Amino acid sequence: MKTMKTMMLVLIAAALAVVSGCASGPAPGEAETLKRDENGKPLIPVSRAGDFEYEKYRMSNGISITGYKGASKIVGIPDKISGRPVKDIAGDAFRGKELIAVSIPNSVLNIYANAFRGNKLTTVVFRTSQKASDSMFPHIEDFAFADNEISELVFPEMRHWKTYIGNSAFENNCISGLVFSEIITQIGDRAFAGNRLTSVSVPAWVKILGANAFADNPLDEPFVIPPSVETVIAYTSDKHDIAALYSYTPGSHLVLVSIRGVSENHSTTVVIPDTINGLPVIGISQPLNFTPLHLEDYSELILPANLAYIDLYGFRVEDLAKIKAPNEKVQSILDTYTAKRREVARLDQERREQKEKEDERRFAEDAMNFLRQAREITQ
């Protein structure tokens, strides 16, 4: 498709009607309107570097945008700031800024949770390179574009690049049509819930899919997970002690991917259920964003009876004493895990201390070199 190969890829077109909060144009009194060329493509100029708050990465040449302080509601994110490529857009960076349009450069690799949540976005443009091998498309994390007014979504053709769309990434928008290119291999739970979709076609290259990815849409027919999907992910219901994201192979066992919290009706003891939706819970995976559940406010956490493994970073070291096993088999797994987790934590601490010493040594050397150079200049 010719439109897929243009320098700028328009991902969202303006909404055409006022339906469920989907505006047809600027709100009354709105100062800015989005200009378009003769072909209807949005014209979004690159904003000044001074409009953004950002952090420079110490270990690489990239930059992470952490905030926006500009006045314009139409934002063109530059591909470089201070000579460094813009690699990431931090969580909450543009949240609630009442933006109506944004252009994102192809240098961006990650758009983190809630980055553009709660704006008035109708138009989002992902800029691409004429040279296919230079084009990248970001990973889109949870709630990144949720609660906007986005109406149409088309993803670029980049066969050399694979990415995912996080949980609730585009929830509560105005999307009426979706085209998934081969770059999309994972679609999170409730990723497109609460939009205006009447039909959905999930291609065979999508291997991980949220069970409720397209919930709360006016679909002409109920959505059925296609047989090409290898792993399904979903959230637990309110009836469980834990609020968690889990994954399962259709018709098989289940693994907790990320325990995100505890329901309001819990006691100080948290119980991970033996089954969820009739499937046995056999594993606890490394949490998304490397943030395990904190157990400071709870006396103990009881593991499921069918547990077969725990990912190395499934729990914090500080909480290991509070984790209990319901039987001897799970106790053996827990004992092995605890020993390994403590050893890894010890090695991590040693590496951190070694790095701190190395940093101090380098700082001292730099200071000595500076003093020596200063003396040579003054002599």
The 10s digit of each residue's pLDDT in 289-344 is: 556 777 887 888 899 999 998 888 888 889 999 999 999 999 999 999 999 999 99
Count up the domains in the chain and report the number: 2
Final residue in a domain of this structure, among 231, 261, 277: 231
Residue 14 pLDDT level (bands cut at 50, 70, 90): very low
Tell me, yes or no, whether 68 and 167 share the same domain. yes
Tell me, yes or no, whether 106 and 134 share the same domain. yes
Q: Is the pLDDT of residue 190 over 80?
A: yes
Query: What pLDDT was estimated at residue 119?
Result: 96
Give the residue numbers spanning the domain of 104: 1-231
Tell me, yes or no, whether 324 and 189 share the same domain. no
Type of residue at 180:
F
Query: What pLDDT was estimated at residue 153?
Result: 67
Separation of alpha carbons 360 and 369, rounded Å: 14
Residue 129 pLDDT level (bands cut at 50, 70, 90): low
Final residue in a domain of this structure, among 207, 231, 255: 231
- Return all residues near 143 (Cβ < 8 A) that are at least 6 apart: 113, 114, 117, 166, 167, 168, 169, 171
Query: What pLDDT was estimated at residue 283?
Result: 87
Residue 173 pLDDT level (bands cut at 50, 70, 90): very high
Final residue in a domain of this structure, among 165, 196, 231: 231
Tell me, yes or no, whether 193 and 248 share the same domain. no
Separation of alpha carbons 155 and 191, rounded Å: 14
Query: What pLDDT was estimated at residue 8?
Result: 37
Tell me, yes or no, whether 328 and 378 share the same domain. yes
3-class SS of residue 347: helix
Average pLDDT, the chain: 82
Tell me, yes or no, whether 154 and 248 share the same domain. no
Residue 369 pLDDT level (bands cut at 50, 70, 90): confident
Tell me, yes or no, whether 247 and 173 share the same domain. no
Tell me, yes or no, whether 27 and 92 share the same domain. yes
Tell me, yes or no, whether 127 and 152 share the same domain. yes
Q: How far is CA 168 from CA 85, 130, 354, in A?
A: 28, 31, 40
Query: Contact 303/323 with Cβ under 8 angstroms?
Result: yes
Query: Contact 246/255 with Cβ under 8 angstroms?
Result: yes
3-class SS of residue 84: strand
